[in-house]
Amino acid sequence: MTEIENFLSIDEKQISFLSIPRGDIERLAVSPFQWIRYVMFTICGARGDLCTTPNGPAVDYENTEIANAENTYYYRPSGKLSFCV
């Protein structure tokens, strides 16, 4: 099963952070990019954007399908991270 890899972009570094099975995303979300962004926000405690490249523009959150060739996304937080332990 294909995994969607999510990296956390902090200070020009990309940290492998979260893998979610593509089937789970398709089953749980009508708007997959909004859902992934929400999951990342919930874990990190900071709003941010998903991008297909580390320094690229934000994805189109209204898009309802993840392209088959795209399995890696980068979450760029716009605020201070506050992980709950």
> Per residue, what are the HEC states of the chain?
CCEEEEEEEECCEEEEEEEEEHHHHHHHCCCHHHHHHHHHHHHHCCCEEEECCCCCCECCCCCCCCCCCCCEEEEEECCCCCCCC
On the question of pLDDT at 70 being above 90, the answer is: no
Q: Which two tokens stand for residue 4?
A: 């969607």
Would 64 be classed as within a structural domain? yes
Would 41 be classed as within a structural domain? yes
- Interval 12-33: pLDDT, tens: 899 999 999 999 999 999 999 9
Would 82 be classed as within a structural domain? no
Structural domain boundaries enclosing 62 = 3-77
Would 84 be classed as within a structural domain? no
On the question of pLDDT at 81 being above 90, the answer is: no
Would 66 be classed as within a structural domain? yes
- Interval 34-66: pLDDT, tens: 999 999 999 999 999 999 999 899 999 999 988
Looking at the structure of the chain, the number of domains it has is 1
pLDDT band at residue 79 using 50, 70 and 90 as cut-offs? confident
